[in-house]
Amino acid sequence: MRILVLGGDGYLGWPTALHLSARNHDVGVVDNFARRLYDCEMGVDSLVPIRQLQRRVTTWKEVSGHTVQPFIGDLTDEVFVEETIREFAPEAIVHFAEQRSAPYSMIDRKHAVYTQVNNVVGTLNLLYAIAEIDPSIHLVKLGTMGEYGTPNIDIEEGFIEITHKGRTDILPYPKQPGSFYHLSKVHDSHNIHFACRIWGLRSTDLNQGIVYGQETPETMLHRDLRTRFDYDGVFGTVLNRFAVQAAVGYPLTVYGKGGQTRGMLDIRDTLACVELACVNPPEPGEYRVFNQFTESFSVIDLAEWTAKIAGGDVTIDNVPDPRVEKEEHYYNAVATQLPALGLKPHFLEDATIEVLIETAKQHKDRVEFDAIRPTVNWRSTKSQVSVAKGAAGD
């Protein structure tokens, strides 16, 4: 297939592009390098050094013989979006190109507005371009399990059957997003669903859990192909943060009681899920939702597991929860459609956490301690975000 990966320079976008290319799909990548600019703004770099996109593309061709075609531009520029789709003529578009951090969206008004404009407007431009150029293009959009929140009932896969006053219907599952970032994803979902209904587009919304890991078979072929490893309090995901904290002897920062439970998956499963969605497209006019995770863990369980594997004097620090969320809650989410398509998941185990900790130890000289603790307070309209000093260069 011809597959265009939006956000193809990012943590998941880059290894996804390599994964698809290695399987003989014709791949293009789109990026505006906004994620690298966030590093400059926050004053903290990827723990694992990453190369510029042009060098990555060149190295990939040298080591694999496959070509990935880069397009540099912004999805909020409708002319760029249309020109790129016309030139590359994709059969499927994988959409990672959004500001992905909940804490970043909660820093202040400016960051909340930027997140929503960037994410929602970019996706709207994309929907219009697909409708006007080629409605048969399959949009595979990265959503998030965070759209659902933590309801006191089972989380179904996108839709729920409801009986009310004697009448029954199947409706989109109620959303309880926990940040302006998650709200932008909900807006995306509604816009995409609407576009499928009125224009006959077809789309798969991948409501993804928290991703852990940094290595894939393709990124391990050469150091120029590595993807980023975020550990800071704004962009670092929970297990990556714990691995780095354990590696440098910093207390593992658990928010509140740590009973927050989330669906999670290995980075290699993200790539597999995206390809499964691409090669098994929905019908024209169909909007479908896949819950994309393999296991669920509480934050405190992850912290205790990491501390046990790290050994030594690793401690756990229960810090005040900067977010407005339930610290203990019911969580049972359904995820059946991707396994039905053939997903063979990787499960979190001791060896996985050991690899994360070892990776962190190899690059511990790049750790900026000022960036580790949470600095964004959901209860404030203006957070004082700590900016690390002397962050290592790319």
Domain coverage including residue 127 = 2-371
CA distances from 204 to 5, 110, 290, 324 (A): 14, 31, 7, 30
Residue 389 lies in a domain: no
Q: What angle do CA 263, 289, 217 make, to 5 degrees?
A: 60
Q: With respect to residue 191, please indicate whether it lies within any of the assigned structural domains.
A: yes
Q: Is 326 a catalytic residue?
A: no
State mean pLDDT over 211-231: 97
Query: What string of DSSP letters covers 267-282?
Result: HHHHHHHHHHHHHSPP
Distance CA 96, CA 209 (A): 14
Residue 221 lies in a domain: yes
Q: What is the CATH number of the domain that holds 162?
A: 3.40.50.720
**Per-residue pLDDT tens digits for 294-315:** 999 999 999 999 999 999 899 9
* Active-site residue (options: 173, 181, 250, 287): 181
Does 275 fall in a domain? yes
Q: Which of 16, 173, 185, 231 is catalytic?
A: 185
Find, among 41, 38, 146, 28, the residue nearest to 83 by Cα. Answer: 28
- Beta-carbon contacts of 49 under 8 Å, excluding residues fewer than 6 positions away, are 226, 363, 366, 392, 394
Contacting residues for 253 by C-beta, under 8 A, at least 6 apart? 233, 241, 245, 317, 319, 372, 373, 374
Residue 273 lies in a domain: yes
Number of domains in the chain: 1
pTM: 0.96
284: left (phi over 0), alpha (psi -120 to 50) or beta: beta
Q: Which of 16, 76, 115, 144 is catalytic?
A: 144
Residue 383 lies in a domain: no
User: Quick one: pLDDT at residue 386?
Assistant: 53
Are 215 and 280 contacting, i.e. CB atoms less than 8 angstroms apart? no
User: Do residues 145 and 263 lie in contact, with contact meaning Cβ atoms separated by under 8 Å?
Assistant: yes
Mean per-residue pLDDT of the chain: 96
Could you tell me the pLDDT band of residue 323, with boundaries at 50, 70 and 90? Answer: very high
No. of H helices and E strands in the chain?
13, 14
Clarify whether 185 is annotated catalytic: yes
Nearest alpha-carbon partner for 31 in 49, 54, 47, 50:
54
Residue 114 known to be catalytic: no
